Chains A and B, each alone.
Chain A
Amino acid sequence: MSPVEIFWFFLLLSAFQPVIQRRLLEYSRQRMIAKIEHDRGSRVILLVHRQETMSLLGFPLLRYIDVNDSEEVIRAIHMTGKDVPMDLILHTPGGLVLASLQIAEAIKKHKGKVTVMVPHYAMSGGTLIALAASEIIMSEHAVLGPVDPQLGKYPAASVLKVVSRKPAAEIEDETLILADQAEKAIIQVRESVRELLEGKPTNGRDPNELARLLSEGTWTHDFPITFERAKALGLPVRSDIPEDVLKLMSLFPQPTRMQPSVEYLPGPRTRRPAPSPEARE
């Protein structure tokens, strides 16, 4: 082999390296999903939204639950037998009400048991989907969020508050236009939540009250509903998330070319047993 050939060989190798890496990652994801499906006897669907950095100009691209997602999830549900249990793993900041509701309704209609697993967070639309499940398994530190509708930049509940505090003549036209939308949006989401909770155990809490709390802007939209709070609210939550699900999530890393902002040596750390006095000598 001449030096030129060796040069070409390396060029080719480095051109293929990302492809090979992606294939390997893909393969380990599939193996992990297959293992969870086998252990739990269920269909596993992941809905993972990571904030991606666009390659060309470096614009951050926000990912959220959109119609393509709801279509894909429903396609997966469609290919699942009526009685086969489903495990939906959610990691999402939320998204379109329309898309989230479509997924939620499809889950609610599924005959087999549906478990929503939240390894880290499922806000807004993600929580709406979780409400439709028979059971929500959160990791100890995972959070859900309120489902009050947002109109563009503003939470619907806040728009209504403005309108109720000011005489109509003094309110800007745009705010009044928004207020009409806000009112309808809140009622629609509240009714949908109520329907989703229908027939679910709520731990003695009134489902109507729960629907109202979650959809009428009791909290800001980014308020974390922790495991304890979710339990207190009467949601069917558990905290024993399978270890494999957490492992699976680590196979969906943040796609980024920047310096990672969190670093640590991988591998578990457990406290070493304190050395006995004899050993110290």
Chain B
Amino acid sequence: MKSMKLGLVWLFSWRGLLAVLLVIFFVVPVIESVRLESLRAGAVAALEEKRGSRVILVIHRQESVNVLGIPVVRYIDIDDSEELLRAIRLTGKDTPLDLILHTPGGLVLAASQIARAIKRHPARTTVFVPHYAMSGGTLIALAANAIVMDRNAVLGPVDPQLGDFPAVSVLDAVQRKPIARIEDVTLVLADQSRKAIAQVTALVQELLSGKLPPERTNETAHRLASGTWTHDFPITAEAAKELIGLPVSTEMPEEVHRLMSLYRPAHDMQPSVYYLPGPRYRKGDNEGTGAALTRTEQNRNRPIK
């Protein structure tokens, strides 16, 4: 009793309060991040265990802000390709490779390095797309033996972009105008565009070779790389299967979703999407809209007066 009282007195003294503040502002965040890190490692290990493979994640989130409040854009860069090639090198020749992609795309050079490394890997390679893998991400996916997309996930066209402009649009502009009236800069860009499109088309053909019949390969490569659509055009799983003939399945393992939910963006701002966590499923069969929902926490179900 006496020691408790002494403890209370200490807690409300200078030192006690300082210690409490220290714990709250420094120790708790550290514990949180360590815990999250171990959860992530555990989830990756579980997936590797289940599939008997090496699992690699490439996740690019638009991390909200840096110190100055300017949004930071993340994309596939050379650091990523270096890291990824290192991981592939550490993987045995007969160990399957599972790549989880969540990316808006990035440098063609970096993406093509990754894609070629995957194509060259002797064991089975699978790319999982839980949400989106545009542009460079799609290029990487094309290299894999199998693509597994969520029902709502999308890929994108791989037509090259020069700075702000899509290469195909530059070529289109040059064609519509008499050459003498075109600005020099645009003509320079046009030359680059022509080469870039040819190179990416060839790369896609190379990546798809052996997976599709040759005439289909050419058609697909042309469709994806020559700007049939705008660069942000969503290619859904069905479209990828039917229009393009890619080896796509929509059997996304639940583990991948669980893993992705451990890599949520850090919220320093008010979140814009809001819902009560936990699944909502009907109990038994449907009984109209008033049917009871099963809940993880029953008491949430109580009407509030």
Contact = CB atoms under 8 A, between A and B. Distances in A.
B273 A176 contact: no
Interface residues of B, number: 72
A141 interface: no
A180 B170 CA distance: 9
Interface string B153-193: 01010000000011011101100111001110110000000
Interface stretch (A29-37, A208-216, A262-270): A29-37
A48 B274 contact: yes
Which size class do A's interface residues fall under?
Answer: 35 or more
A47 B273 contact: yes
B132 interface: yes
B280 A73 contact: no
Interface stretch (A101-109, A196-204, A219-227, A231-239): A101-109
Contacts of A81: 279-282
Interface centre among B62, B260, B269 (most CB of A within 10 A): B269
The prevalent SS among residues of A at the interface is helix
A96 B73 CA distance: 15
A227 B45 CA distance: 52
Contacts of A170: 181
Interface centre among B186, B234, B275 (most CB of A within 10 A): B275
A121 to B, nearest CB: 14
A277 to B, nearest CB: 40
B229 A184 contact: yes
A180 B261 contact: no
A279 interface: no
Interface string A61-82: 1010011111111111111110
B270 A255 contact: yes
Contacts of A101: 234
B280 A39 contact: no
Contacts of B199: none
A73 B152 CA distance: 11
Given A41-B290, A84-B280, A185 B230 contact: yes
A240 interface: no
Given A81-B282, A84-B293, A171 B177 contact: yes
A274 interface: no
Contacts of B154: 98, 102
A102 B293 contact: no
Given A54-B65, A169-B177, A41 B291 contact: yes
Given A52-B269, A56-B68, 11 more contacts: A33-B274, A41-B293, A47-B274, A72-B271, A72-B273, A98-B232, A102-B132, A173-B183, A173-B185, A180-B166, A188-B230
Interface of B: 12-14, 17, 20-21, 61-62, 65, 67-69, 104, 131-132, 134, 150-152, 154, 156, 165-166, 168-170, 172-173, 176-178, 181-183, 185-186, 229-230, 232-234, 236, 257, 260-261, 264-265, 269-276, 278-282, 286, 288-293, 300-304
